[in-house]
Amino acid sequence: MAEILKGAPVAEAISCQLRARAEELKAGGVTPCLALLRVGERPDDLSYERAAVRRCESIGLRVVQFALEEDCAQEQIEVVIRQINEDEAIHGCLMFRPLPEHLDEAALCELLTPEKDVDGMTAGSLSTVLTGRGRGFAPCTAQACLELLDYYGCDPAGKHVAVIGRSLVIGRPVALMLQARDATVTMCHSKTRDMPAFCRQAEILVVAAGRAGVVDRQFTAPDQVIVDVGVNASPEGGICGDVCFAQVEPAVRAISPVPGGVGAVTTAVLCKHVIEAAERALAKG
């Protein structure tokens, strides 16, 4: 039986530390504040929004919600982002993505001031992930993978890690962050030939392909730790990860479940970034 890397205790440990930092900020006259910007009413956005609001409230963060119609114009979102940029009482902003197709998502991401980009969506934040310099924040989900490994005592230093997926949201940043923590990283994607052979050699396997069942038993090795980032609609009606859990779990050392794994950690990481942004703003005066 593998160890199940549940996200809830990781999120609670992070939240515990953050409550003290939020109190300190409030004592200094600053209430850390997150802006949530949603376009339309996609069920997964709404569900993440509810979880983020709950987490913020439990830590002592203020939340300001902006909700625009699905068919809103680019200019309407630009107005909201400018308002968020200018409001000194807002320290971080999460814009739900993907945006509807008629919008220029890349341009809207870049409009957000880098100091408030707490989910690593601007080129400035990603450059911090790449260079280790600057004041950008990593995408929360990528950071959540590292928090999960750290909490369960799985140090990536010196280990061979395989990452499946190369998106800017997860695959690429998490690979760079693991490399910065001295892992040797192999990146796999949809054009990788013989992916099971690469993955079997990995001591840690991070799966972020967005395809249910992409990893089965032939990808595994007995001492392997698997972090499943995928979120897919399951045939039974709920959600499932990218890994065939029932098949893989008995064959590895540890695995994160879906739901209840990485996804449960991301809102805590989001709050951590907002508090960090508020602390920086306070220090700047």
Rule CB under 6 A: which residues touch ligand NAP? 141, 164-167, 169-171, 188-191, 208-211, 214, 229-232, 262-263, 266
Of 156 and 173, the one with the shorter C-beta distance to ligand NAP is: 173
Residue owning tokens 């249910």:
212
Q: How far is the CB of 100 from ligand NAP (least distance, A)?
A: 16
Q: Which is nearer to ligand NAP, 98 or 158 (CB)?
A: 98
Closest by CA position to 11, among listed 211, 209, 148, 103: 148
Sequence-distant (≥ 6) Cβ neighbours of residue 77 within 8 angstroms: 37, 39, 68, 99, 103, 108
Measured from the CB atom, is 185 or 231 closer to ligand NAP?
Answer: 231
Could you count the other beta carbons within 10 Å of the beta carbon of residue 73?
12
54 or 82: whose CB is closer to ligand NAP? 54
Minimal distance, residue 144 CB to ligand NAP, in Å: 7
To ligand NAP, the closest distance from the beta carbon of 103 in angstroms equals 17
Q: What is the DSSP letter of 124?
A: H
Query: Which residue number, 30 or 177, has a Cβ lying nearer to ligand NAP?
Result: 177
DSSP characters for 27-42?
HTT---EEEEEEES--
Phi, psi for residue 270 in degrees, rounded to 5: -55, -45
| Minimum distance of ligand NAP from residue 187's CB (angstroms) | 9
- Nearest distance, CB of residue 94 and ligand NAP, angstroms: 12
